[in-house]
Structures are given as structure tokens and as C-alpha cells.
Amino acid sequence: MKTKVLLLTIVLIILSLYSSAQEKENRWGFELNSGASFATSKLNDADLNPGFGFEGVFHYRFLPHTGFYGGWGWNLFGADNSFAGADVCFEETGYILGLQFKHPLGNSPLSYYLRAGGLYNHIEIENSDGKIIMDSGHGLGWQLAGGLEFNLGRNWSLTPGVKFNALNRDVENEGVNVPLELNYVQVRFGILKKF
């Protein structure tokens, strides 16, 4: 056990020395993004209408082009007809945690980014009155994303991108487990502040 702790300490010291030798660029950031969401398949028997969502995401860069990202997200899809009734909404909320790779394009103020992460989300089903009638409980899913970062100066950037989320959960409907496989593409536009 002591050997593992010693090795981990050495690795962390080397990483911190390596990263402190990098150019003095802000390591932390906070991003707000929002946009349209489009289901790529039916949710059980429901054809989902185009939806809308947003995320609040913290970034931490620990290597020149690599960092962690994590935050909270919300997405809402309507459905005219489904196993849960007519005119219902499927609301997915939860947490995101993953790795990000970002690299500048030449000497321009433009960079591209790639992200891969996990989700810990749940799906709530609301009737037309806005009352929650079913909740899947939180469970694991995944996210892939990519996009561009336009540096505006003074540590502000615009971050348009595309994301794919996948979440499989079950809800109970009249004593029967109903599998929900929520897969969707998000077209997002965000703003990032580095600090």
C-alpha cells in the first residue's frame, strides 16, 4: 500500500512540475452552452419531438492540451403519444464527467476540442400538467463531443459544438418495467470564461 501511495505522489509531483513549466495560461474555465437536441431513435414507443437543453461545465487543464471537464446538464423532449400517455415530456437531467483534448489550429485564435465522458443521469416523465408521473432514477450513460473554440481575448471564448448522449434506464409503468434507451445529438453554442 505504501508503495502505491509513494508512486502516486511521485507521478503527481512530476505532473505538477511539468505543468508549471508550461506557459502561463489559465487552467480553469467555466462554460455555459445551450441548443437543440434531436433524438436518433424512438424512446421505447415514443417518437420524440426536437428538444432543447443546456449544460454548465467546469474545465481543468492538467497538461498542455488535455484536461478534465465536469458539470450538470438538462434536456427536454416532448412526445405527442407514448406508453406514458399523450402530450408528455421526457426530461433528462444529471451530471457529466470526462476528459477533454483541445489543440490550437496554427497560430490562429481557433482551437478544436474532443471530449469523451460519462453521465450519471435520470429521466423524468411529466404529464401535460407538468406533474412528474415516472422517474427512472440515476444511472450511468456516456457522452462524446467535438467542436471549436474561438478565442475572443480577455479569457473569453465561444464554443460551438456537437454532442452525442446515450442513456439506458428503466421506469415502472403499472407494475411493468419499461426500458428507455435515450440516444440523441445536441447542437450546442456556448461561452467559456477561463480563470
Query: For residue 21, is pLDDT > 60?
Result: no
Contacts of 144 (CB under 8 A, 6+ apart): 115, 116, 163, 164
**pLDDT of the residue at 144:** 98
pLDDT value, residue 13: 60
Cell triple for 112: 478544436
Do the domain assignments include residue 8?
no
How many structural domains are present in the chain?
1
Task: Note down the domain range covering 36.
Answer: 26-194
Q: How far is CA 34 from CA 14, 51, 124, in A?
A: 37, 11, 20
Instruction: Let me know if residue 12 belongs to a domain.
Output: no
168 within domain boundaries? yes
- 126, part of any domain: yes
State percent of the chain over pLDDT 70.
88
- pTM here? 0.84
Establish if 11 belongs to a structural domain. Answer: no
Domain at 117, CATH number = 2.40.160.20
Q: Is residue 145 part of a domain?
A: yes
- Any domain includes 19: no
